[in-house]
Structure formats: C-alpha cells, structure tokens
Amino acid sequence: MTEVTLSKLDTDSHLILDQPLLRLPHELLRKNLKSAQRQIEVSHKAIDSSLDPVKPSSRPADTLAALDATLAKAQTLKRKLEALHEEERNLHRQQKARIAHLQDLHDVQSVGDVKFDDWSEVRLDRLLVDYLLRQGYTSSARALASAKNVEDLVDISVFEESSRVEAALRGGDVKEALAWCGENKQALKKISSNLELELRLQQFIALRRTGEMGKLTEALVHARKHLGGGQDLEFGLKAGGLLAHPPDTMVEPYATIYSSTRSDYLATLFLQTHHTLFLLPSQPLLHTALSAGLSALKTPTCHSLHNPNRGRSHLSSSIATLTGSPLCPICSTELNELARGVPYAHHTKSFVEEDLVVLPNDRVFGRERLRALCEKLGVPLGKIRDPTEGLRGTEWGEGELRKVYIS
C-alpha cells in the first residue's frame, strides 16, 4: 500500500457507480422526444383528414367549420408540445446539475481534500434517496432529498411511477402496467420483453378463474386477440392449457400460474423490465457501495472475541473504553451485524504503531500512546495500566512492559 496511489484520486474509475446518474435523464429525454414525434404524427394525420373534405367548391360555411376544427387540433398539438417542452426543460436542468456534480469530483485533487468529503456526502445522500425510493419509502426519499437539496440528482418521479405500478400489480391490478407498456411499446420490443404478454395472460387468468360461461367466452376472445399472435407461441399454448384446467388444479405448470404468487412474480418482472429499460442497476447502488465499503474497512479484529469495542451498544450503560483511537465504524452497533458475513480486507503488510510493547495481560500497545493514555487516566508515574480496562484496571510497574517486534 503506497501513499502515491492513495493521495491521487482516479476520477474516472471512481465514477463507475455514477453512470446511471447521467444515463437516466438521457433516456427520459429520448422518451420525451418519441412522445413529441407521436403527437406530431397524430396531429398531422388529423389535420390532413379534417381538411381533406374541403374542396375549392365547398360552401364557405363548411370550409370555415373544417378550418375551425383544424385550428383546434393544431392548438391541442401546441399544448401537448408545450407540456413536453416543459418536461424537457426539467430534464435539462437535472442533467446540468448532475454534470456539475460529477465535474466537482474532477476538481478534487486528493482523497484527503475537504472537497472530497463534501462530494462523498452528496453521493451518500443520493444513494440513500435511491435506496429509499427503490424500497417504496417515497415520503422519506422526498424528505431527505429536499433536506439535503439533492432533488435534481435523484429520480423521484421515475421511481414514484414504478412503485405505483408495482403496488397495483401486487394488488392484482394490471391496468397501470399495461398502460406503461403502451407508452413504451417500441422500447420494450427492442429488448424483446414479454412483460405485456404476461400481463395479458394475467387478464386472461382473471377471466378464466370466474368459471362463468360468459366470461370464458370473453377469455377466449381476449386470448385470440392478445395471446395468439405470432409473438410467442408459448403464451397461446398456456392459455389453452388453462382453459382445460380448472383454477383448483394440481397439474403443473397450471397450478403455479393460478397461484397467488403470480402477482409478486409480475411485480418483480415489471421492476426488472423497467430498470433494464431505463438502464438502472437492478440492485440499489447503496448495496454495491456498502458491501464493498464494509469489506474494505473490515479487519479480523472487528468480530474478534477479544475486541474491546465489539458488541458494545449505545444502550449498555457501561462507560466507553479508552483506546485513544477513533471508534471503528465496523465495530459500532450500526454496522457490526451487517458486516458479519462480508469478507475482510486483504493486507499484505502489518499496520501497527511504532515501538510496540506488550503488557502483562498480553495486550500490545504503542509505547507512546500507552504513556499518553495512562497520563490521561491519571496513572502515577512509573506505573502502567491497560487503558481498555478503564479506571478499574490492574496497575503494573513500568518494568513489566516487554518490547515486541512485529514486522
């Protein structure tokens, strides 16, 4: 471990977590443009068709009426485009804020820089908001984003929409999800997603489940319309199989398809599809960063039975032990349990203080630190005490210290 690698910050590799930050607004801008294109196409057709019947020979009154209708359509187009333009402006503002945020990191020279701490704090807030949003804690996410002023760096509305659809799916309602599929038809086709087919199949199942004759016919029509087409034969076959098996069947795969776990499956599938479409990572980035961080910080001492700080919770009324070093984040209550399963950091060299001595109770200290701690504890000159034992520790003569060599 050399100082050189540490002091210099490799910005580009440090930003590996931050790709989605710039990707998402971009994807949304694309989507926005697609909507604009669709609007214009629709209006173009509508305007053409409303002007079509107007011939130079038409009566002026008819012509006026047709023109009025056309004008109304053009006005609608304008309104819609204005809304899209507004959205576009919002996205541009977010984009700008995000670029500036990443640019800030480029201005940081070294890890020791105060600016790096500031930047890291903003990143933590971002990751936290992202986590809260993904877990459906939308109010908390909003509150945190506004308290920390990072609204433009997080994607609240995107996740709000996806959570809404997800919740509806878990509740057995596929309408919103289908609407979402409709909005993103082209993109879904591109990643050859079968989300829409699954949703249509779900509608079919709901109709089939009733068992009423009328509904069954309806189910049949539904299946022909949505599941039969050339896309994926499997869905049509499944629908056929479901018709043959009643909802209480034990026959697989139909029993699973009928079971209530299917709504969870659909919700998960929707989230997966949604995240893939917007190039969002499937796991919260907080997890990625946290597990790497826990490992990098963890030492075998953190969960050792002999660690004086381990497992001490803020709730135990005993007095904090005195080691003179800052408390380790992995040893603290917040993260100790969480870090139990992760591997500890790899080291090739010992990292110890200079001039080590061992106390009669086998604990090793740097001589200087031990002296300073004993002084703080008011241990008489010429005597020493294990500072981790606080005021009640045994006192030894200084002569009982032994030098120890660790290389």
Partner 1 sequence: MESILAAHETLSSKANLSKALQDVDALISLLQNARDNIESDPDTTPLHIAKLKTPLKQSFDKIDDDLKEVNKGLNQYQKALKDKFKASALPTASIGSNASDGAATGLDSQRSLVERAIAMHLLREGKFDVASTFVKEVSAQAAGQDDPPRWLEDFADQEGGEDENMDEDEDGELDEELYGELGRGHLQRKFAEMYHILDALRNQHNLTLAIEWARNHSAELEDRGSNLEYELSRLKFVELYTSSPDDANTALLNALDYARATFPTFNSRYARETAALVTTLAYSTQLADSPYSPLFNNPSLWTSTSQLFTREFTSLLNLPSTSPLRTAITAGGLALPILQKVERIMSTSRGQWTSVNELPVETPLPANFMFHSIFVCPVSKEQGTDLNPPMMLPCGHVIAKESLEGTSRGKSRVKCPYCPIESKPGEARRVYI
Site for partner 1 in 139-168 (CB under 8 A): 139-140, 143-144, 147-148
Q: How far is CA 309 from CA 205, 314, 316, 388, 389, in A?
A: 57, 11, 12, 9, 11
The count of other CB atoms within 10 Å of the CB of residue 386 is: 22
Choose one: 158-166, 230-238, 270-278, 327-335; the region binding partner 1 (CB under 8 A).
327-335
- Please report where in the chains the tokens 């499937």 appear, as a residue: 282
Least Å distance, CB 194 to partner 1, is 23
Q: How far is the CB of 89 from partner 1 (least distance, A)?
A: 8
Cβ proximity of 323 and 364 under 8 Å = no
Rg of the chain taking only CA atoms, in angstroms: 33
Report the nearest approach of partner 1 to the CB of residue 227 (Å). 31
The yes or no reply on residue 304 touching partner 1 (CB under 8 A) is: yes
**How many alpha carbons fall within 13 Å on the CB side of residue 308?**
17
Residue of 337, 355, 368, 395 interacting with partner 1 (CB under 8 A)? 337
- The phi and psi torsions of 383 (rounded to 5 degrees) equal -115, 160
Q: How far apart are CA 346 and CA 300, in angstroms?
A: 10
Binds partner 1 (CB under 8 A): choice among 46, 122, 220, 289: 289
Residues 72-131 that bind partner 1 (CB under 8 A): 74-75, 77-78, 81-82, 84-85, 88-89, 92, 95-96, 99, 102-103, 106, 111-112, 117, 120-121, 123-124, 127-128, 131
Beta bridge partners of 402: 358
In the complex, the smallest distance separating the C-beta of residue 74 from partner 1, rounded to whole angstroms, is 5
Residues 230-269 that bind partner 1 (CB under 8 A): none
Q: Of 132 and 277, which CB lies nearer to partner 1 in the complex structure?
A: 132
The least distance separating partner 1 from the CB of residue 295, rounded to whole angstroms, comes to: 5
Window of 134-142, 201-209, 227-235, 266-274 that interacts with partner 1 by CB under 8 A: 134-142
Q: Which is nearer to partner 1, 90 or 249 (CB)?
A: 90
Q: Is 397 in the site for partner 1 (CB under 8 A)?
A: no
Binding mask 44-83 for partner 1 (x = CB under 8 A): x--x---x--xxxxx-x--xx--xx-xx--xx-xx--xx-
> Which of residues 58 and 217 has its CB atom nearest to partner 1 in the complex?
58
Which helix (H) or strand (E) is 4 found in, with range? Answer: helix 3-7
In this chain, which of 314, 380, 381, 399 binds partner 1, going by CB under 8 A?
314
Report the alpha-carbon distance of residue 145 to residue 358 in Å, rounded.
50
Closer of 257 and 286 to partner 1 (Cβ): 286
Report which of 378, 377, 380 is spatially closest to residue 390, judged by C-alpha positions: 377
Peptide bond preceding 247 in cis form (omega within 30 of 0): no
Residue 125: CB atoms within 10 Å: 18
In this structure, the number of other CB atoms found within 10 A of the CB of residue 150 comes to 20
In the complex, minimum distance from the CB of residue 263 to partner 1, in angstroms, rounded to a whole number = 14
Site for partner 1 in 164-223 (CB under 8 A): none
Q: Single out the residue of 24, 101, 108, 132 in contact with partner 1 (rule: CB under 8 A).
A: 132
Count Cβ atoms below 10 Å from residue 335 Cβ, excluding itself: 18
In the complex with partner 1, the residue whose CB is nearer, 214 or 380, is 380
Residue 209 or 363: the one with the smaller Cβ distance to partner 1 is 363
Least separation, in Å, of the C-beta of 270 and partner 1? 18
DSSP summary character for residue 382: T
| Helix 156-170 / helix 114-134 crossing angle, nearest 10 deg | 20
Q: Which of 42, 136, 164, 276 binds partner 1 (CB under 8 A)?
A: 136
In DSSP terms, 343 is beta-bridged to none
Binding to partner 1 (CB under 8 A): which residues in 8-47?
Answer: 10, 12-17, 19-20, 22-23, 26, 29-30, 33, 36-37, 40, 44, 47
Among 201, 267, 286, 370, binds partner 1 (CB under 8 A): 286
Which string of DSSP letters, residue by residue, matches 268-335?
HHHHHHHHHHTT--SS-HHHHHHHHHHHHH--GGGG-TT-TTTT--TTS-SPPP--SSPPPTTTSHHH
DSSP, res 8:
B
